[in-house]
Amino acid sequence: MVVGAFPIAKLLYLGVRQMSKPVANRIKAGARRSEFFKTYICLPPAQIYHWIEMRTKMRIMGFRGATIKPLNEEAAAELGAELLGESIIFLIGGGCMVLEYSRQAANSRRKEEELNETLISLQTQLAELSLTTETLSAQLREVNRQMLSFPVPTKK
């Protein structure tokens, strides 16, 4: 006896989320090794992140006009690889959330359609029963009319 449907979609989502960390780590390792990846993919976001972070910290501490030195290439490559890995994990998690939302919306839509079909069916049955009741009422009136048209026997 089956108690409920096995939540295979949720299991798949969990599997994808668990696999995203090792995939992100491999991409980070590849980013550290590849010069093109390091130069054009990792370094620019890392330098922007560093600039924004340091600028915010300086403003919080009250230093308005301080210049911010860029990170050295090794530190920027490491930070860029970390940012890339975290963004991959975030995107995979966000994708799983979007897929789960769309699945839930589809289930909700299907249930609503089933309810609407049931409601329409009940309304159709009600209309048929109403028509049957009217037909039987008309027949009953006709039988009563015919009974009243017969002569009443008188007693002798």
Q: How far is CA 55 from the centre of its chain?
A: 37
The label of the residue with tokens 């090792």 reads 22
CA distance 84 to 24: 8
Secondary-structure percent of the chain, ordered helix, strand, coil, rounded to 5:
85, 0, 15
Q: State pTM to two decimals.
A: 0.63
What was the pLDDT predicted at 46? 94
Collapsed DSSP state (helix, strand, coil) of residue 63? coil
Beta carbons of 59 and 52 less than 8 angstroms apart: no
pLDDT digits (tens, 9 = 90+) for 58-108: 989 888 777 889 999 889 988 988 888 888 888 888 888 888 899 889 999
Beta carbons of 82 and 53 less than 8 angstroms apart: no
Percent of the chain at pLDDT above 70? Answer: 94
CA distance 128 to 58: 78
